[in-house]
């Protein structure tokens, strides 16, 4: 039986959850599917440092982390938002995993040789920038130093304890209103850093598939800024 309090157990649960993929969404449809660009993101878990989550009652090991970054506010696409490392596919990329690892190295400086690719998940539409995004699930078997490489694109790289993301006090429903349109979805408040949108939806779906989610107040709605 998998022990959810040990990082090796978390790795096994991630593999089991993604083997029968049926999670996430519903994601908004692409406005122009024919013109959509292929992209990939790296969802990287591992035991990244010796500092455990401050969450006392965790459903996962308190030293399990996921790698996230904050995009520059000057970017035309998703400015200032927290995201997974990743980006558009290039001609030299062999597959989605190659795209995700190359982009992660360019953005965070990680050593891709220390990353084990656990699974390549089905693509997800990202309507805001008209991309077809393939999430690549990774496990950091040999951690390396990370930091923002190009501040014109990424201003911060950080490792977030998964137990802190799962803490019900960190969770709320994000709301965006544009005229008569209203969009809502799961969100996380990590010491004032807000994770919402595509990244939060993917994390929430993955956590649910792994059986890690704990009940939280979905009626707690807060506006977020684009």
Mean pLDDT on 77-103: 90
Average pLDDT, the chain: 85
Who has greater pLDDT, 7 or 188? 188
Continuous segment of H or E residues that includes residue 87: strand 86-88
* pLDDT greater than 80 at residue 59: no
Average pLDDT over residues 158-178: 93
φ, ψ for residue 97, nearest 5 deg: -65, -40
How many angstroms separate the CA atoms of 182 and 201, rounded?
A: 16
Cβ–Cβ < 8 Å for 136, 42: yes
Average pLDDT over residues 130-159: 90
Q: Would the pLDDT of 24 be above 70?
A: no
Q: Which residue has the tokens 């970017």?
A: 75
- The encoded tokens of residue 167 equal 């803490």
DSSP string, 180-211: TEEEEEEEEEETTEEE-HHHHHHHHHHHHHHT
Q: Is residue 8 predicted with pLDDT exceeding 90? A: no
Q: Which residue has the tokens 């805001």?
A: 128
The tokens describing 121, both together, are 């998940």
């Amino acid at each position: 039986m998998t022990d959810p309090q040990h990082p090796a157990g978390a790795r096994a649960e991630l593999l089991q959850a993604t083997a029968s993929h049926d999670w996430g969404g519903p994601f908004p449809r692409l406005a122009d599917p024919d013109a959509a660009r292929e992209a990939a993101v790296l969802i990287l878990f591992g035991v990244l440092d010796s500092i455990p989550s401050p969450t006392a009652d965790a459903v996962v090991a308190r030293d399990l982390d996921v790698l996230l970054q904050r995009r520059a506010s000057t970017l035309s696409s998703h400015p200032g938002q927290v995201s997974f490392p990743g980006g558009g596919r290039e001609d030299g990329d062999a597959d989605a995993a190659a795209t995700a690892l190359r982009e992660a190295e360019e953005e965070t400086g990680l050593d891709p040789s220390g990353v084990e690719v656990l699974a390549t998940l089905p693509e997800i539409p990202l309507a805001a920038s008209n991309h077809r995004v393939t999430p690549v699930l990774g496990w950091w078997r040999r951690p390396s130093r990370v930091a923002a490489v190009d501040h014109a694109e990424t201003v911060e790289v950080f490792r977030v304890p998964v137990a802190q993301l799962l803490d019900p006090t960190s969770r709320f429903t994000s709301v965006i209103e544009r005229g008569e349109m209203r969009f809502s979805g799961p969100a996380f408040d990590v010491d004032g850093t807000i994770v919402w949108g595509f990244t939060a939806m993917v994390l929430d779906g993955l956590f649910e598939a792994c059986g890690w989610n704990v009940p939280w107040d979905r009626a707690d709605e807060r506006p977020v800024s684009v």
